[in-house]
Amino acid sequence: MLSDGTARTPPPHRQEGTMRTFLTAITVLLLALVAHAEDREYKPRRVVKPYPAITDPDFLPASKVLAEVTSAELVLGVTLDGKARAYPINMLTGPQREIINDTLADTAIAATW
Amino acid sequence: MVYARTVGKKTITLRVSGLLWNRSLIMNDMETGSEWSQLLGKAMKGKLEGAKLRPIPAQLTTWDDWKKQHPDTTVLNLPRTSNSYGVEFYRDRSQFVLGLVIGETAKAWPFDALGRERAVQDTLAGVPLLVTFDRRSTRALVFSRVLGKETLHFQWDPDTGELKDRKSKTTWDPTSGRAVKGPRKGAQLEILPGIVSHRRAWRAFHPLSAIMR
């Protein structure tokens, strides 16, 4: 059988602290909800000016890629309607390269890192 | 991650905004200037606020592995911006996860746990899942285990080491989610848009996410 991916939790204590446990659980839940709300508040920070959008970049067929990309390098790979395309991560760092506007199998896509 | 750029009838062009939110990339669309969270795939501010980008399942894997899967692939051709993103990037596997969001529920499977198990059956928001991991390429994928009206249950064949579904004993390829041998040969599991992320970043965006131990 395959491993079951459920998170394992330790068995609950069942001593005189039942009420305490209950109150602790409620407090933790409330804090988690507050943290959730705070983390989800949209407060971006500007670090740099915007970069121009990258559109219609150049591509090569696999057969023409020799030394440019080595075997253990990471790529972001996508297939759509039988067409496959790879975006080597070492071309997507920057931050100026983090978004590539592209079209694959007639579908407008954005490859992002 | 990869997204479709067409929202309703409108196709947008995205750029790096220069803004970060929780240390994560915010994008602008050139058409309206709205601000989009890369990790959430959602417009956070501006004319298109609330709009969502459709995620397209993509893989993070090695060039060697991708080329074997798709010999006729094309490859982006831009000058390098770095040299450090090889498989060693994931050396500390406990710090990286494959994450998935279904509706409002999120779960993540850390690479170290996936590396131990190679394939994990799970359920998220009622959807039965199969998460697979290739140790050499660090390729992590998640599929739905629903095929037609059935939910498949998988096991490793103790003799051959192949991944099989319990009922029909069909052999499945964990890379493609396709049945390669047996009664269901040719069937295809639906691949879901899992996201590879730093564990910390995943937690920041999905603080209530379950994480596999």
Judge whether A105 is closer than 8 Å to chain B, CB to CB.
no
pLDDT in tens, A2-22: 777 765 555 555 555 788 888
Nearest CB to A65; choose among B75, B121, B154: B75
Q: How far apart are CA B195 and CA A58, in angstroms?
A: 26
* pTM (whole model) above 0.90: no
| Closest CA–CA distance from residue B91 to any residue of chain A (Å) | 13
| Closest CA–CA distance from residue A106 to any residue of chain B (Å) | 11
Check CB contact under 8 Å for B75 and A88.
yes
Question: Which of B5, B63, B129 would best serve as a mutation to test chain A binding (most A beta carbons within 10 A)?
Answer: B63
Chain B residue with minimum CA distance to A95: B16
Check CB contact under 8 Å for B205 and A39.
yes
Q: Residues B70, A85: contact at Cβ < 8 Å? A: no
Q: What is the pLDDT of residue A65?
A: 86
Higher-confidence residue of B116 and A32: namely B116
Q: What is the pLDDT of residue A53?
A: 98
pLDDT, average across residues B102-129: 95
Which residues of chain A make contact with B204, given a CB cutoff of 8 A? 39
pLDDT, average across residues B116-139: 95
pLDDT in tens, B184-204: 999 999 999 999 999 999 999
* Residue the block writes with tokens 């998460």: B131
* Residue the block writes with tokens 């047996």: B182
DSSP tag of B188:
B
Q: How far apart are CA A69 and CA A92, in angstroms?
A: 13
Judge whether A3 is closer than 8 Å to chain B, CB to CB.
yes
Residues 80-99 of chain A with CB under 8 A from chain B are 80, 83-99
Q: How far apart are CA B67 and CA B43, in angstroms?
A: 34
Q: How far apart are CA A12 and CA B71, in angstroms?
A: 53
pLDDT, average across residues B151-179: 95
Q: Which two tokens stand for residue B205?
A: 């965006």
Q: How far apart are CA B213 and CA B199, in angstroms?
A: 13
Asked if the model's pLDDT at residue B88 lies above 60, the reply is yes
Q: What is the pLDDT of residue A84?
A: 98
Nearest CB to A59; choose among B77, B122, B204: B77
Which residues of chain A make contact with B63, given a CB cutoff of 8 A? 69-75, 86, 88
Asked if the model's pLDDT at residue A1 lies above 70, the reply is no
Q: What is the pLDDT of residue A15?
A: 54
Percent of chain B with pLDDT over 70: 100
Output the average pLDDT for chain B.
95
Check CB contact under 8 Å for A57 and B76.
yes
pLDDT, average across residues A24-30: 83
Judge whether A52 is closer than 8 Å to chain B, CB to CB.
yes
Which residues of chain A make contact with B73, given a CB cutoff of 8 A? 61-62, 77, 84-86
Instruction: For A69, list phi and psi in degrees, rounded to 5.
Output: -130, 125
Q: Which two tokens stand for residue B63?
A: 């060039």
Cα distances (Å, whole numbers) of residue B197 to A3, A70, B50, B206? 22, 23, 23, 12
Q: Residues B146, B126: contact at Cβ < 8 Å? A: no
Nearest CB to B76; choose among A4, A46, A88: A88
Q: What is the pLDDT of residue B175?
A: 85
Q: What is the pLDDT of residue A38?
A: 47
Q: What is the pLDDT of residue B211?
A: 95
Nearest CB to A77; choose among B27, B66, B210: B66
Looking only at the bridges linking them, the beta strands covering B74-76 and A3-4 are unpaired
Q: Spell out the residues 6+ positions from residue A104 whose beta carbon is closer than 8 angstroms to its own.
A: A78, A80, A83, A85
Check CB contact under 8 Å for A53 and B30.
yes
Structure ipTM over 0.85, yes or no: yes
pLDDT, average across residues B64-69: 95
Q: What is the pLDDT of residue A94?
A: 85
Q: What is the pLDDT of residue B95?
A: 95
Partners of B120 in beta bridges: A3, B131
pLDDT in tens, A33-88: 765 554 468 999 999 999 999 999 999 999 898 777 889 999 999 999 999 999 99
